[in-house]
Structures are given as structure tokens and as C-alpha cells.
Amino acid sequence: MSQQILLRAHNIAVAEEMAKDDKVIVIGEDVGPKGGIWTTFMGLYPKYGENRVIEMPMAEAGYSMFAAGAAMMGYRPVVEIMFADFATLSFEAIVDVCAKFRYNSMGKHSLPITFILPQGVGAGSGAHHSQSVESWFANVPGLKIVAPTGAADVRLFLRASIRDDDPVLFIWHRGLMISREDIPDTLADDEIPSLKNAGKIVKEGNDLTVVAYQRSLVVAQMAAAEVEAETGKTIEIIDPRVLIPFDKEKMFASLRKTGRLLVAHDAPERGGFGAQIVTWAVEELGTELKANPVSVCGKNTVIPFNKLEDYVVPNKEEMKAGMKKALGL
């Protein structure tokens, strides 16, 4: 066991999967000697060379399509899009090629490909480098979407994503890139999780269920501690870790206990994934819910430059207010 930052967890996971399976290849910009702008591929180019670590020109559309073609031929590409926002240029490859390939081959051929998408605020990088993009893709059947929060889960679920036979968008949050967690030195094959039933109860409680991920999860944990101290209520927090397929049962079981729901994410509220989570909860629980669900999400606006970004994503006070509202206080 050793403490690692989240960026290093990516590097460990990719290195482990490349060592296990020679069909795993890396495709992206700056992935050669530099090891990727986020150090995801550090040390891999010297070890495996240009046939497994393919440094591409700045051509997201071209190399995302290239990766899809290589996957059709039996390879297992790990594609890094430098900023999740730049997936706009890979959209056709992800949405029209990867997501539909298995269906159009009558289910005969899977397309095992992992797109790593670093998303979110935290560096003050402005409108084109800070967006949270999960719901751009959540409406596309055929994709799986993985959104872990901490370093340990990044390592586990990046390995699980690379092993999965379907196209996976592995979305991590740049605002948490130097957060630290303990990571086991080695993992046995049976310790690599499935993408199914991946929800995790981060903290148990009886009066309110919070479903949140990535930066909003961290904010929710801080807010929950204060709300519990102020109100005497206890709050259960669920990190879904994987958005598609979503672990509905874990959420339903929690809601049967608490009867109250708050969802939180950094992405804009309108059309966001939280709305889908609320729909599932309301359809399943109906009048078992004691109050209307509450969402605390990003504002429906453009992400501004520098520290101004703090105005558009949920902060602790907004989260506390949302929790109190959901608790009926």
C-alpha cells in the first residue's frame, strides 16, 4: 500500500494493463517521450515503443477514428483526449462509430476501446478546457460511462474500463488531479471490479441519500459533515463511480431507508445526468419518497476564466442549503 496522487493512479493502471495484454495500445497527443500532458503514459513509450504507444498529430477526429478501426481489428486502444472538451472533435468517432459498431454487427463484434477524458474546473482554464461532459454522451446507447472520484477508484476502474469489451468513456476530474489516496501495490485479476453494480456507499446515514460524483462529491462530503453537526440528522452518500450502467439498486435500497434524495454534479443542471437519476428514483419509489428530490448542479452557463469558475459549480454553502431543503428543514 502506498499513497499516490490521482494522476499517478492513471499511470499505474495503464502500465498494469499494458503488461497484462499486448493488445492494449495507447493513442493520443504528447503520449510519446513526454508520457502525456497528464503523465498518464509516463514510462510507457520507452518500454513499449511506437508500435504500442502511438503519438499522434493534433487530430482528435482522425486518431479517434483510427482507434476505432484498430479496435475493429482486435486491438484494445486507450485513447486520451487531452481535455474532455476536445471530444467535440471526436464526437463522430465516439457516438456514430464506436457506440453503434456492435449493434450493427448483429452483436458479433464488440469494440473494446477506452477514451480517457479529463474534465472539469479547478485550473481556471476557461470555457473550452473546464467543462463537465458526461451528459453529452449519456444519451447515446452503446456507450458506457465511468466517472470515479479518488485515486484508488481511478486505478481500479481504469483497469476495469480497459478490460471491458465495450466502448467506455473514462472521465476523470482535473480539479482532483493531485488528491491523494492509498493504493494497493498489486491487484489480483479478481480484484478488478465489473462496471456493473459499481455504486459505493461512501458514508452511511439514515435521513437523506446524496448521490454525487467527482468534485461535487468532495463538496457534498464537507457539506454533509457540517449539516449533520448543525441538525443532528445523518446523511448517506453514494458515489455511483459508473454512470452507465448505473447502479440503481444501491440507490433504491438507500432511498427506501431515508426517503429523501439530493443529486449533485458539476455539469450544468439542465439536461444533466442528475435529472435522469431523479427520474429513476421517482419512478421506483413514488410516494415512498418523503419530499421532492433536490439537485445541486452546475449553473446553466458558460464556464468563465480563472477563479470566476467557482461561481458556476456547486459550492459548500449551496450544497448545505440543498441538503437542508431535501431534509425539509
Closest to other proteins by CB, 51 vs 287, is: 51
Q: Among residue numbers 217 through 246, which ones bind other proteins (CB under 8 A)?
A: 244-246
For other proteins, which residue of 3, 105, 292, 306 counts as binding (CB under 8 A)?
105
Stretch that binds other proteins, among 2-10, 36-44, 64-72, 218-226 (CB under 8 A): 64-72
CB of 44 to other proteins, least distance (A): 17
Q: Which amino acid is at 143?
A: L
- Return the DSSP state at 125: B
Cα 190 from Cα 168, distance rounded (Å): 20
Task: Give me the torsion for CA of 39, 40, 43, 44, rounded to 10°.
Answer: -150
User: β-strand 24-28 against 76-80: which pairing, if any?
Assistant: parallel
87 binds other proteins (CB under 8 A): no
Closest to other proteins by CB, 166 vs 269, is: 166
- 109 as an active site residue: the answer is no
CB of 103 to other proteins, least distance (A): 5
For other proteins, which residue of 3, 104, 292, 301 counts as binding (CB under 8 A)?
104
For other proteins, which residue of 44, 54, 202, 278 counts as binding (CB under 8 A)?
54
**How many angstroms separate the most distant Cα atoms in the chain?**
60
Q: Which three cell numbers stand for residue 274?
A: 442528475
Lookup result for grid cell 459533515: 225
Under rule CB under 8 A, how many of the chain's residues touch other proteins?
A: 47
Cα 121 from Cα 138, distance rounded (Å): 20
Whether the ω angle into residue 314 lies within 30 degrees of 0, i.e. cis, is no
93 binds other proteins (CB under 8 A): yes
73 binds other proteins (CB under 8 A): yes
- Transcribe 13-39 into DSSP letters: HHHHHHHH-TTEEEEESS-STT--TTS
Active-site pick, 10, 129, 173, 265: 129
Q: Among residue numbers 14 through 43, which ones bind other proteins (CB under 8 A)?
A: none
**Hey, CA dihedral for 83, 85, 86, 87, is it positive or negative?**
positive
Q: Return residues touching other proteins (CB under 8 A).
A: 51, 54, 56-57, 59, 61-75, 92-93, 96-97, 100-110, 141-142, 144, 164-166, 194-196, 244-246
- Catalytically active residues are 129
